[in-house]
């Protein structure tokens, strides 16, 4: 009986706090990164080998899948520096708490030189086609 009520408790907790439940399904189609000045269609499929938490980093110890530019997060859409800057968390090469797009793509390109324009370029790259 005790076991059953413990399970019931967990179930109710999971309902009350979706963050404790399973992660949301991975979007299958490329989706626009909200707030970007130059449109970026982010594709999850080529990032399948990267753990969700690398990009959807924990917030106050908890898993989170909010938009990067959620109010109070990386919601500064004009500055190019600092953790509040959406631009910075996508492009900074080093020194931020979490890995940025460019930081990881630089490592990929170090091994696959032919992807340089696609993954590190600006105009006509795969990020900003
Ligand atoms: C390489 C980085 C990266 C990885 C790895 C990644 N995502 Fe994402 N994900 C993103 C970006 C960027 C967005 C768009 C966020 C925005 O618009 O601010 C996104 C958006 C999402 C959204 C939509 C959120 C919304 O409110 O519309 C979901 C759901 C999601 N990801 C789930 C996952 C899951 C589950 C995993 C792991 C299996 C995962 N992602 C792995 C970068 C990543
Ligand atoms: C932890 C590493 C990592 C991070 C972080 C990362 N990427 Fe990637 N990205 C990759 C790898 C690996 C590939 C596939 C390279 C290949 O083709 O072999 C890739 C490919 C891409 C492609 C090209 C897909 C295609 O059609 O070929 C786009 C666009 C892209 N990433 C956008 C982003 C954006 C935007 C972010 C940040 C929100 C991001 N990536 C963060 C590792 C990463």
- Average pLDDT, 10 consecutive residues per value, the chain (129 residues): 62 57 88 95 97 97 96 97 97 96 98 98 95
How long, in residues, is the chain?
A: 129
The preferred substitution site among 29, 40, 41, 42 for testing ligand 1, maximizing ligand atoms within 8 Å of CB, is: 42
- Model's pTM, two decimal places? 0.90
Q: Are 93 and 102 in contact (CB under 8 A)?
A: yes
**Integer Cα distance of 48 and 32 in angstroms:** 18
Identify the residues whose C-beta falls under 6 Å from ligand 2.
40, 42-43, 46-47, 50, 54-55, 90, 99, 101, 104-105, 108, 115, 119, 126-127
The reported pLDDT for the residue numbered 3 is 66
**Integer Cα distance of 14 and 29 in angstroms:** 27
Beta-ladder partners of 42: 31
65 Cα to the center of ligand 1, angstroms? 6
**Integer Cα distance of 77 and 85 in angstroms:** 6
Residue in 99, 19, 24, 94 with CA at minimum distance from that of residue 57:
99
């Amino acid at each position: 009986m005790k076991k059953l009520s413990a399970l019931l408790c967990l179930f109710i907790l999971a309902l009350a706090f979706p963050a404790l439940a399973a992660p949301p399904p991975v979007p299958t189609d490329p989706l626009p990164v909200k707030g970007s000045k130059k449109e970026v269609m982010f594709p999850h499929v080529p990032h399948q080998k990267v753990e969700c938490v690398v990009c959807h980093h924990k917030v106050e110890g908890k898993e989170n899948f909010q938009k990067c530019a959620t109010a109070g997060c990386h919601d500064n859409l004009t500055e190019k520096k600092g953790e509040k800057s959406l631009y910075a968390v996508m492009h900074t090469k080093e020194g931020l708490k979490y890995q940025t797009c460019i930081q990881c793509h630089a490592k990929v390109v170090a091994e696959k030189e032919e992807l340089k324009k696609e993954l590190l370029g600006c105009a006509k790259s795969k990020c900003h086609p």
